[in-house]
Amino acid sequence: MASVPVRCWFLCTVSLLNLLFVFISGAHFIRFISFRAIYHNITGETTLCRDSVPWSVALRDSSVLSCLAVDLSLLALFTVQHSLFAWSPVKQTLQSLLGVLNRTAYCFTTALALQILVHYWQPVTGAPCLWSVRHAPWSIWFPLLCFTLHFLCWAIICSILMIFDYSELLGIKQVYYECVGLEDPLTPKSAGARRLLSHLRHPVCLELSVVLWLLPALTLDRLLLAGTLSAYLVLSHSLDKQDLSYLYVQLKSKMQLLAEPHGGSAAAESEQEDSNHKEK
């Protein structure tokens, strides 16, 4: 009997340490992808690009090509890790080996890949910018506008992650349910909800696209970063008509609850039960 509490303490410790690592990695990634680029543009303390160099010369520069090669390797590391660990055979293997720590391992390796990307990313300063806002008054106002919109986008992203059950996304709920003797947290969810989550784990495409592309200056390495991650976001989601139908039913039921907080709840619950029955 003593082994059960010890095992639970171990699982909880690993899960909470992973949560801390993921939080720190997320903060570093936000600073790297968003606010650091805007800050450098406002202060001008770092040369982001060299507009005096022709593209024909820049694209033959060994230093530019070496930086792009390193950055492309870092992006390949992240995309391969994120896709490989989400591949069904690998997920099943990790599930059999790690049990409830499967999701924790996925989040840890993702955070580790992001940390490597952030710390070893090579800025390309020997090539022209694709665009750069440098003339007054927009040289001041546009970076401030970018900062405001980036802040709002990250606030929306964090809110969406909270709505989409961040404790399950990070593997905390799986460990808690295991320790208290409950089934997997995804099991009580309807078939439509589980199907949606399998197709749309990160519903932040629009907000992240704004963060990736809306900058006062777009350098060559930033073009590589934004283009690769945008393409990966588009290709990684596979929503279909059944998922959209499920989202429509959920939205309709929520609207009924808001419109009729007392009388409409029973109708919404009945419609939800009918929807779940059809999905099964």
pLDDT band at 238 (very low <50, low <70, confident <90, very high): low
pLDDT-derived band at 228, boundaries 50, 70, 90:
very high
Indicate the SS3 state at residue 3: helix
Whether pLDDT at 263 is above 50: no
Answer yes or no: is pLDDT of 6 > 90. Answer: no
- The tens digit of pLDDT for each residue in 31-65 reads 999 888 787 666 555 567 788 888 889 889 999 99
pLDDT at 123 over 70: yes
What beta strand segments (E) does 89-135 contain?
A: 131-132
- Name the helix (H) or strand (E) containing 163: helix 138-163
Of the candidate ranges 194-198, 241-245, 272-276, the one whose mean pLDDT is the lowest? 272-276
Calculate the average pLDDT of the chain. 81
pLDDT attached to residue 203: 62
Higher pLDDT: 246 or 143? It is 143
pLDDT band of 2, cuts 50, 70, 90: very low
Q: Which residues of 217-252 are buried (b: 16+ CB within 10 A; e: fewer)?
A: bbbbbbbbbbebbeeebeebeeeeeebeebeebbee
Whether the pLDDT of residue 268 is over 50: the answer is no
Mean pLDDT, range 184-206, rounded to an integer: 69
pLDDT winner (highest mean) among 105-114, 158-167, 232-241, 257-266: 105-114
Contacts of 91 (CB under 8 A, 6+ apart): 85, 102
Q: Is 132 helix (H, G, I), strand (E, B) or coil?
A: strand
- Higher per-residue confidence, 143 vs 160: 143
* Per-residue pLDDT, 245: 74
Instruction: Sketch the domain layout of the chain as residue ranges.
Output: 3-188+216-239
pLDDT range class, residue 151, cuts 50, 70, 90 = very high
pLDDT of residue 198: 63
**pLDDT above 90 for 114:** yes
